[in-house]
Amino acid sequence: MKKLIDSWFNENYDNVLDVTQLHIVRMGKNIDSVGLVSDAYVYVLGKNPAFKDDIERMTYGFIWRELVNWNSKTNRMSVFVEDEIPESLSYNENTDLLLNIDIENFKNTLDRFERIVWEVYYEKGKTRKRELAEHFNFDETSAFFCIRDLKTKFKEYVDTKKGI
């Protein structure tokens, strides 16, 4: 059976990797697609499917469940990855740059809605999606996307100030 699984993964690896990366990008996650496909391979090996069609179904099903379920191993690991300080913003050489970022100038680059959300997020310290959703009285998914967009804009702003 291992030969059948190996053969299927060898034939379809690029397609599985592309589909996985597409889902990761659409969901806005910070997950390594190669690692997720490797985990799917190990999962399918452990299940020992009887038919070639089962391999495909199990592989894509595993990847989807890992991305969607908030308590999956992949999502729990991605939380730790997102909480790490990126190398470009490490404490040793770039501390002065981070201290010299003009927050008011950054706020001027935001539109009115983003500025209001930034003030609640940054100044009032409501950094969790649930806290932000309760403050503005909207759903947590919208709060998540607001936070993600603000973080992305701030990182881009810092990168432009750094000259990257």
Among 30, 51, 80, identify where a domain stops.
80
The answer on 29 and 11 residing in a single domain is: yes
Taking alpha carbons only, the member of 146, 141, 83, 138 closest to residue 110 is: 146
Structurally, the chain folds into a number of domains equal to 2
The answer on 44 and 22 residing in a single domain is: yes
Q: For residues 75 and 89, give the distance between their C-alpha atoms in angstroms, rounded to a whole number.
A: 23
Q: For residues 164 and 161, give the distance between their C-alpha atoms in angstroms, rounded to a whole number.
A: 8
Among 38, 56, 80, identify where a domain stops.
80
Higher pLDDT, 75 or 140: 140
Q: What is the pLDDT of residues 23-47, one digit of tens each?
A: 888 888 888 888 889 889 988 888 8
The answer on 129 and 91 residing in a single domain is: yes
Q: For residues 67 and 59, give the distance between their C-alpha atoms in angstroms, rounded to a whole number.
A: 13
Token pair for residue 102?
A: 């003009």
Token pair for residue 110?
A: 């935001």
pLDDT for 101 = 65
pLDDT for 66 = 86
Q: For residues 43 and 58, is the Cβ–Cβ distance under 8 A? A: yes
Cβ atoms within 10 Å of 36's Cβ, excluding its own? 24
Range of the domain at 120: 86-162
pLDDT for 11 = 92
Q: What is the pLDDT of residues 71-121, one digit of tens each?
A: 777 766 654 444 444 444 333 444 444 445 677 888 888 999 998 988 888
The answer on 147 and 90 residing in a single domain is: yes
